[in-house]
Structure 1
């Protein structure tokens, strides 16, 4: 773990819950070497499009809208299959995750593998209740935090990254991505 003094304040974006419990939960979270890939409960980065698509669709109220295309990665001259999937909101919502409302959804597949997932939860803003309901689950999915600020938490593995940001007014952004693939998509030479 890169930090020791910053993860408690950052996870307080979920809870003003007792520091003893929070510290205990962080310390009992899995280490990076015990986690396979970052992801949600049933879908992980690197999962094949067919299975990941089914699992992600289960979160949504309406079918995903996917735009197929091709892209290069970095300086590579090869064209890779790219698919970006989003969800159209109805009354400001696209679905549910962990019994919280989703207001935004985007998944990116490259070569039929899930490479990025971005979600926005629209919650009550009661961070103590959110931590009680979801804090330990998130720590079990992502492990011990690597970086933290008062507005967000970052988990990093060699190839994957997960970020959790407090956007204010009870809105929480969750982004899970394959760092190498997503950086190559944005840094084409």
Structure 2
């Protein structure tokens, strides 16, 4: 089955009317070799804490609340500085991204570098309009998708991955992470 049958149901779950446009936009999307790292507009994985924190705070109503600790990475016997930062909700919202309301945002730093961003958008649920507004931008940020299902789209690079999922009722989650670091954090030798 062609990816266009999913019709961005994974990229932002768009209506059938956007299928032809989606196919054309995907053909013109950048290849992995032309992308440096995954991210959101000016924010990229691997950015230093000061740069990434400033870019994230610009999206939020209140500054991120962070907890710092130490962690191991996989079987290595070194302790690394881990910082997990969560957005503080105000009336069910934490901020705004691309003109859409954010209901959740979490960032993870390891050794002062951004390794993961998870967020949830609250949208109108009009996926065709969302594609018109954000589809090409997302394809330019992440390139050609590697996998698409009826509920989500995944982009994979050697070190990074990005996943956009439909959670229903206009809620869309976006996860961008350094695969190697995040898998090592969860690996208990």
Structural mapping, 1:166-185, within 5 Å:
166-185=166-185
Cα distance in structure 2, aligned partners of 1:59 and 1:22: 27
Structural mapping, 1:106-145, within 5 Å:
106-145=106-145
Contact 2:7/2:15 (8 A) holds in 1: no
TM-score (norm 2): 0.95
CA RMSD of aligned residues (A): 1.2
Cα distance in structure 2, aligned partners of 1:140 and 1:156: 14
Q: Secondary structure, in 3 states, of the residue corresponding to 1:145?
A: coil
Q: Secondary structure, in 3 states, of the residue corresponding to 1:21?
A: helix
Q: Secondary structure, in 3 states, of the residue corresponding to 1:134?
A: helix
Cα distance in structure 1, aligned partners of 2:24 and 2:179: 29
Aligned to 1:11: 8
Cα distance in structure 1, aligned partners of 2:76 and 2:7: 38
Q: Deviations over 1:113-166 (max 9, x none)?
A: 000000000000000000000000000000000001000000000000000000
Misfit runs of 4+, over 4 Å: none
Aligned to 1:36: 36
Kindly state the Cα deviation for residue 10 of structure 1 after the two structures are TM-superposed: 5.2
Contact 1:93/1:101 (8 A) holds in 2: yes
Kindly state the Cα deviation for residue 51 of structure 1 after the two structures are TM-superposed: 0.5
Kindly state the Cα deviation for residue 8 of structure 1 after the two structures are TM-superposed: 4.8
Q: Aligned pairs, how many?
A: 186
Structural mapping, 1:20-169, within 5 Å:
20-169=20-169
TM-score (norm 1): 0.95
Q: Structure 1 unaligned runs (5+)?
A: none
Which shows bigger deviation, 108-117 or 14-23? 14-23
